[in-house]
Amino acid sequence: MPKDPTSGPVDQTRRRLLMGAAALPLAGLLPKSVLAAPATAAVNTTGLAVTDTEVTVGILHSVTGTMAISETGSVQAEKLAIEQINAMGGVLGRKIKFIQEDGASDWPTFAEKAKKLLVNDKCASVFGCWTSASRKAVLPVFEQYNGMLYYPTFYEGLEQSKNVIYTGQEATQQIIAGLDWVNKTKNAKTFYLLGSDYIWPRTSNKIARKHIEKYLKGCKVVGEEYFPLGHTQFNSVINKIKLTKPDVIYAIIVGGSNVAFYKQLKAAGIDLSKQTLLTISVTEDEIDGIGGENIAGAFACMKYFQSLDNANNKAFVAAFKKMWGDKTVIGDVTQAAYLGPWLWKATVEKAGSFDIDKVAAASPDVEFKGAPEGYVKIHPNHHLWSKTRVGKAKLDGQFELIYETADLVEPDPFPKGYQ
Amino acid sequence: MNPETTPRTGFLTRSQLVGIALLALLIVVLLPLTLDIFRLNLVGKYLTYAFVAIGLVMCWGYGGILSLGQGIFFGLGGYCMAMFLKLEASSVENTKIQSTPGIPDFMDWNQLTALPWFWKPFASFPFTLVAVILVPTLFAFIIGTAMFRRRVGGVYFGIITQAIAAILTILIIGQQGYTGGINGITDLRTLHGWDIRTDHAKFILYFVNAALLFGVIGLCFLVRQSKLGRILVAMRDKEDRVRFSGYDVASFKIFVFAFAAALSAIGGAMFTLQVGFMSPSFVGIVPSVEMVIYTAVGGRLSILGAVYGTLLVNFAKTTFSESFPELWLLGLGGLFIAVVLAFPAGLAGIYDSHIAPRLAKWFSRKGRTPTPAMPVSTPAE
């Protein structure tokens, strides 16, 4: 890795290419074995799909079904990262070849395909899954067959596995800094918690409630409600919100329900420039569906926004748009998915081996300075140290960065005092 | 095939015996010999759906009752089994890191501190085995009684079963502290200390599943050949005439519906054992309709056809989706349309019109030696 933390993968590629070009005249003088990558027998002792020139990895997301709209960005980011890594020489001298499987938004299918990637294809690593349910379905498969999964989504925590690297934020990382910020800058005292009815929003709201009631002085939760996935009738809760007048609406509504929720909020006359709304579930991808005019003024708390102003991110956004078209937007999870292949490459090179056990053992303290979100590092608990940021939604569907934590936030998947 | 024109052996005709022998040859000999354990386990999973498809042949093909909610019973059977396995996997030492050790992990995440009362009996394996069959059958009996006694039938019944499937899904997802919510009940490990995740266990479970399947097939042939089976067909074709002849039509309908439910439940329980988890995505409308498609592709009047239909559709699903991850649904849709348009009687229709006559000719030439020629409908890889 280059020392300059701002240099993106694109810069690195260029630098490696230049160095390679400079070394060319010398190449003829060296015996062949010195130039060749380390012997396959040495870097792969457990029968993974690694040859002298290639290493096979898996991509496992839903490209059909209801989750396809969310997971497509992750697939694109992973393919981009793999292409960039191959352009700069691959991993331990081997080009990455990927096998893509479709989880079809169906958890058992995820488990079936995960097993296929590990047992049949002997993938050295798998980048995939999105929903918690799909991760829970594949987790026993990865543990039983000893595979390596890089999981990109922000999620509820309460999990830690030797066989998974969580490149998104766990709940406390994403929630606490945002609540502190809204409490301090907006002087917020009353919170109305909303969520879709499944484990991530429920666990996140549980953490939010504990933090509000225990650690923020004089603050309280004035309502908490859940809606089935795909729910589109929010009028009754919007009326309750109008009656209770909370300082903050804290919304963890996912997927298509978002569109109905924000449109109905606007129709009910709740003006997001006056009413503070903080969400942890709306990224640029969701705004694409909601429409910037319906959500402008809302605040989102996560670790990445497409608008982040740093050299890594500019190079990443440009490369992403070049590969997938100008109209694509990049949300938090897409960026986290992009980290997966890079972190895996860094870990494999640190371990000097593709063996799953060695990669798992070498993972703690692996850094990636070229991350679009800025510097990240793997914690011994296999989650990432990362900054938390608050952005304000704008009419054009982008976020304007309002606040970021000064330091990296430590991941804490089993938070004491929040259970 | 007209059962009256072919010689009988016990309650089966010779051609039916040949059909069962061919299927047995495929499932018990050919597939285990040619497939690796990963693929074999997949076939085992497909065959659990075949229980549902066979149930639908009885209920829809013979009884004339189209249920679009068989996932309910598949799911209930599967959940009963999953509850037992989950309790076994949640021993105090396995769940040390939880705030309340000894209860399933998802309960702990949802702030439950004690095991709910309806989970407790599932610590017993004999109770679970009984519940796997009894809970779905009772449920079907209640639905059936409520509907058929009031003479609700046809499309209305289909819609109601679909609504119940939707309601049950929402209930399971909503009560996640008690049911595992949308994640389902995952991470099942052992059955009485026997690790069901090993290749060896999967191999054994495959044959247990196959044995149960053939038991069910035999039972269905028995029902079909009996007077009961003939009343079912009569009822399907002219319900009023059967009623005026003095038969209690509703009781027969309730019976066949509950019977199909019991078969689906066995499939569900075997699914949980072989796949290692159960989730609400098997209870809802989509899987229920998919199961009707298996039956339609196989031929809704053919018990054996249902098994072939299930295997063919699922093989196609897996193969298409592995080769074309972004286009496979189109291929699968095309397959359904092609089968329904070109062969309204499904695979069984192809067999009857193209293969059976040739087989018969062949038999008459060669005498009585039944040679296991494979039907083209066999979706072997």
At CA A352, angle to CA A350 and CA A355, rounded to 5? 110
Looking at the structure, do residues A396 and A260 belong to the same domain, yes or no? yes
Both structure tokens of A270: 């709740």
Q: Quick check: A7 pLDDT over 70?
A: no
Write the DSSP string, B191-252.
Answer: ETTEETTSHHHHHHHHHHHHHHHHHHHHHHHHHHHSHHHHHHHHHHH-HHHHHHTT--HHHH
The band of B15, judged by pLDDT with boundaries at 50, 70 and 90, is confident
**Domain annotation covers residue A260:** yes
Q: What is the mean pLDDT of residues A25-37?
A: 46
DSSP H or E segment with residue B137: helix B125-148
Looking at the structure, do residues A273 and A126 belong to the same domain, yes or no? no
Distance, in Å, from the CA atom of A244 to the CA atom of A293, rounded to the nearest integer, reads: 25
Please check whether residue A210 touches B, CB under 8 A: no
Return the pLDDT at A393. Answer: 96
Please check whether residue B113 touches A, CB under 8 A: no
Looking at the structure, do residues A23 and A162 belong to the same domain, yes or no? yes
**In chain B, what is the straight-line distance between the N-terminal and C-terminal CA atoms, in Å?**
28
The band of B374, judged by pLDDT with boundaries at 50, 70 and 90, is very low
User: A127 vs A71, A101, B22, B48, B72, CA distance in Å?
Assistant: 12, 11, 42, 30, 34
**Longest C-alpha distance within chain B, in Å?**
74
Mutation target vs A (from B36, B37, B38, B49; most A CBs, 10 A cutoff): B38
Looking at the structure, do residues A132 and A188 belong to the same domain, yes or no? no
Q: What is the mean pLDDT of residues A146-175?
A: 95
Distance, in Å, from the CA atom of A225 to the CA atom of A193, rounded to the nearest integer, reads: 6
Both structure tokens of A176: 């606490």
Comparing CB atoms, the residue among B174, B183, B282 nearest residue A197 is B174
**Contact predicate B138/B68, CB 8 Å:** no
Residue listed under structure tokens 């072919």: B6
Please check whether residue A42 touches B, CB under 8 A: no
Order of strands, edge to edge, in the sheet holding A54-61?
A95-102, A54-61, A126-128, A149-151, A164-166
Q: Quick check: A148 pLDDT over 50?
A: yes
Q: What is the mean pLDDT of residues A94-101?
A: 96
Please check whether residue A112 touches B, CB under 8 A: yes
Return the pLDDT at A21. Answer: 45
How do residues B209-236 score in pLDDT, each as one tens digit?
999 999 999 999 999 999 999 999 999 9
Mean pLDDT of chain B: 88
Looking at the structure, do residues A23 and A148 belong to the same domain, yes or no? yes
Write the DSSP string, A351-375.
Answer: HTS--HHHHHHH-TT-EETT-TTS-
Distance, in Å, from the CA atom of A151 to the CA atom of A163, rounded to the nearest integer, reads: 10
Minimum CA–CA partner of B167 in chain A: A228
Please check whether residue A69 touches B, CB under 8 A: no
Q: What is the mean pLDDT of residues A378-403?
A: 96
Q: Quick check: A1 pLDDT over 70?
A: no
**How buried is residue A273: exposed, middle or buried, by Cβ count under 10 Å (0-12/13-18/19+)?**
exposed
**Domain annotation covers residue A326:** yes
Return the pLDDT at B7. Answer: 56
- Residues with Cβ within 8 Å of residue A177, at least 6 apart in sequence: A301, A388, A390, A405, A409
Higher pLDDT, A68 or B54: B54
Comparing CB atoms, the residue among A102, A120, A198 nearest residue B38 is A120
**A111–B181: do the CB atoms touch at under 8 Å?**
no
**B182–A133: do the CB atoms touch at under 8 Å?**
yes
Distance, in Å, from the CA atom of A181 to the CA atom of B120, rounded to the nearest integer, reads: 45
Looking at the structure, do residues A230 and A243 belong to the same domain, yes or no? yes
Mapping DSSP to helix (H, G, I), strand (E, B) and coil, where does residue A128 land? strand
**Domain annotation covers residue A419:** no
Comparing CB atoms, the residue among B109, B276, B326 nearest residue A203 is B109
Long-range CB pairs of A204-207, under 8 A, 24+ apart, other chains included: A204/A156, A204/A171, A204/A174, A204/A175, A204/A252, A204/A280, A205/A250, A205/A252, A206/A418, A206/B111, A207/A171, A207/A172, A207/A175, A207/A176, A207/A415, A207/A418
Return the pLDDT at B324. Answer: 84
**Closest among B335, B307, B137, B107 to B220, alpha carbons compared:** B307
Q: What percent of chain A has pLDDT over 90?
A: 77
Both structure tokens of A285: 């991808």
Q: Quick check: A27 pLDDT over 60?
A: no
Looking at the structure, do residues A396 and A251 belong to the same domain, yes or no? yes
At CA B105, angle to CA B101 and CA B107, rounded to 5? 90
**B277–A144: do the CB atoms touch at under 8 Å?**
no
> In chain B, which residues have their Cβ closer than 8 Å to the Cβ of A201?
none
**Contact predicate A198/B182, CB 8 Å:** yes
Q: What is the mean pLDDT of residues B136-160?
A: 94
**Domain annotation covers residue A360:** yes
**Torsion over CA: A184, A187, A189, A191 (sign):** negative
Please check whether residue B171 touches A, CB under 8 A: no
**B181–A199: do the CB atoms touch at under 8 Å?**
yes
> In chain B, which residues have their Cβ closer than 8 Å to the Cβ of A120?
36, 38
Distance, in Å, from the CA atom of B368 to the CA atom of A288, rounded to the nearest integer, reads: 70
Distance, in Å, from the CA atom of B110 to the CA atom of B105, rounded to the nearest integer, reads: 9
Phi and psi for B307 in degrees, rounded to 5?
Answer: -65, -45
Q: What percent of chain A has pLDDT over 70?
A: 91
Mean pLDDT of chain A: 89
> What ipTM describes this predicted complex?
0.76
Looking at the structure, do residues A316 and A246 belong to the same domain, yes or no? no
**Domain annotation covers residue A41:** yes
Minimum CA–CA partner of B180 in chain A: A199
Minimum CA–CA partner of B329 in chain A: A64
The band of A17, judged by pLDDT with boundaries at 50, 70 and 90, is very low
**pTM of the predicted protein model:** 0.83
The shares of helix, strand and coil residues in chain B, as percent rounded to the nearest 5, are 70, 5, 25
How do residues A171-186 score in pLDDT, each as one tens digit?
999 999 999 999 999 9
**Domain annotation covers residue A409:** no
Both structure tokens of B150: 């009031």
**A158–B42: do the CB atoms touch at under 8 Å?**
no
Comparing CB atoms, the residue among A108, A136, A206 nearest residue B275 is A108
Q: Any bridge partners for residue A91, and if so which?
A: A94
The band of A389, judged by pLDDT with boundaries at 50, 70 and 90, is very high
Q: Quick check: B161 pLDDT over 80?
A: yes
Distance, in Å, from the CA atom of B319 to the CA atom of B324, rounded to the nearest integer, reads: 8
**Contact predicate B170/A228, CB 8 Å:** yes
Q: Quick check: A121 pLDDT over 70?
A: yes
Cβ under 8 Å to B: A residues 356-415? 414
User: A366 vs A95, A336, A382, B347, CA distance in Å?
Assistant: 21, 15, 10, 56
Return the pLDDT at A36. Answer: 55
Q: CA gyration radius for chain A?
A: 22
Q: Quick check: A338 pLDDT over 50?
A: yes
Looking at the structure, do residues A379 and A243 belong to the same domain, yes or no? no
Phi and psi for B354 in degrees, rounded to 5?
Answer: -110, -35
DSSP state of A61: E
- Residues with Cβ within 8 Å of residue B205, at least 6 apart in sequence: B44, B196, B270, B273, B274
Distance, in Å, from the CA atom of B300 to the CA atom of B265, rounded to the nearest integer, reads: 20
Q: State which residues form the domain around A205.
A: 171-302+390-404
> In chain B, which residues have their Cβ closer than 8 Å to the Cβ of A196?
none
Q: Quick check: A31 pLDDT over 70?
A: no
Return the pLDDT at A28. Answer: 42
Residue listed under structure tokens 């006694």: B149
**A107–B173: do the CB atoms touch at under 8 Å?**
no
**Domain annotation covers residue A412:** no
The band of B94, judged by pLDDT with boundaries at 50, 70 and 90, is confident
Domain holding A240: CATH number? Answer: 3.40.50.2300
Q: What is the mean pLDDT of residues A376-382?
A: 96
Cβ under 8 Å to B: A residues 168-207? 197-199, 202-203, 206
Amino acid residing at B227: K
Looking at the structure, do residues A246 and A101 belong to the same domain, yes or no? no
Looking at the structure, do residues A197 and A155 belong to the same domain, yes or no? no
Domain count along chain A: 2
Return the pLDDT at B45. Answer: 94
Most confident range (mean pLDDT) of A7-11, A91-95, B318-322, B353-357 is A91-95
**Closest among B57, B43, B16 to B380, alpha carbons compared:** B43
Please check whether residue B103 touches A, CB under 8 A: no
**B109–A156: do the CB atoms touch at under 8 Å?**
yes
How do residues B237-257 score in pLDDT, each as one tens digit?
999 999 999 999 999 999 999
User: B236 vs B64, B65, B100, B154, B232, CA distance in Å?
Assistant: 5, 8, 54, 10, 6
Looking at the structure, do residues A80 and A228 belong to the same domain, yes or no? no
At CA A387, angle to CA A385 and CA A393, rounded to 5? 140
DSSP state of A212: I
Provide the 10 A C-beta neighbour count for residue A156: 20
**In chain A, what is the straight-line distance between the N-terminal and C-terminal CA atoms, in Å?**
39
**Closest among A109, A192, A201 to A155, alpha carbons compared:** A201
**Domain annotation covers residue A243:** yes
Distance, in Å, from the CA atom of B210 to the CA atom of B28, rounded to the nearest integer, reads: 7
- Residues with Cβ within 8 Å of residue A313, at least 6 apart in sequence: A8, A306, A372, A373
How do residues B33-68 score in pLDDT, each as one tens digit?
999 888 999 999 999 999 999 999 999 999 999 999
Distance, in Å, from the CA atom of A170 to the CA atom of A331, rounded to the nearest integer, reads: 16
Comparing CB atoms, the residue among A63, A156, A198 nearest residue B325 is A63
Q: Quick check: A374 pLDDT over 80?
A: yes
**Contact predicate B274/B209, CB 8 Å:** yes
Distance, in Å, from the CA atom of A335 to the CA atom of A323, rounded to the nearest integer, reads: 15
